[in-house]
Amino acid sequence: MKGFKELRIDTPYAGGKKILVLGTSKFLLPCANGKFFNTGHHSTETLVPMYHFDKAGFQFDFATPDGAPLALEEWTFPMAVGYEDKLHEVRNKFKGQLEAPLKYEDIDEGLDSYAAIFLPGGHGPIIDMHTYESLGKLLRSANAKAITTITLCHGPSALRSAAVGGDFPYKDYKIVVFPDSMDKMSPKFGYLPGYLSEDYLIESKLKALGCKVQNKSMDDSICVDRELITGCSQQASQKLAAAALKVLGEKFGFKAE
């Protein structure tokens, strides 16, 4: 990601609601050739938004399917040229929670304690997040209550869980998402160690559920449609955080830009 900068917080959030970070504890993504990609949540896609949310005055709760530590792509930290220290700062601040999160099923479906939900990206979410009915219940509740829901890159795969055990609430929503074309291309230049099965190509899966994908390539685009804020790729991490804080600021009476 290029363009990291501090956001100006004129009046930090002073309310009691938190941001709920819902992620995976899984690291190994199987490829069609039997090899595994060592993944998790991309450090920039996870910690850049968290850094800005923290500076704006928000606290966090974290949850994974099994209560195991949130999976982070350790090898992506050195890619954060010029702002890697910010990633380590926020990670260290919330280290205890990241290593001992709640389980999805521990979260009250009423979501009364939360100002927003954050579904960070990285290839980790496509391993399993779309399969959990407990996660789907939380997302359907967030949609029904218009709770700001923030996600980027492969994180939107988690939205698919809302179709498990209920009606998919994001039909006809405009989104941006990591394109299938890039996942199909990446084994050719050695990023993925093999091709992904169709179930892991999330752009086509979300389109089949009725989402209206706006981007054609991997870029820094973001999209705000009702309560859902999406970013296309790691490149959008800074812009996603700024857009989310603008929405939350208007909703809760603080200013960040």
How far lies 256's CA from each of 43, 139, 177, in Å? 23, 26, 25
Q: Return the CA Rg of the chain.
A: 17
- Residue 118, helix vs strand vs coil: strand
Amino acid at 82: G
Length of the chain: 257
Instruction: Map tokens 């996942």 to a residue.
Output: 183
- Contact between residue 230 and residue 156 where contact means Cβ atoms under 8 Å apart: yes
Which DSSP state fits 236? G
The helices-and-strands tally (H runs, E runs) of the chain is 8, 13
Instruction: Map tokens 């304690």 to a residue.
Output: 113
Least Cα distance to 151 among 215, 35, 236 occurs for: 236
Instruction: List CB contacts of 157: < 8 A, sequence separation 6 or more.
Output: 125, 126, 129, 130, 202, 205, 206
Q: Judge residue 190's burial from the number of C-beta atoms within 10 Å of its C-beta, 0-12 exposed, 13-18 middle, 19 or more buried.
A: exposed
- List the catalytic residue out of 31, 153, 211, 223: 153
Sign of CA dihedral 63, 69, 71, 74: positive
**Among this protein's residues, is 232 annotated catalytic?**
no
Q: Provide the annotated active-site residues.
A: 153
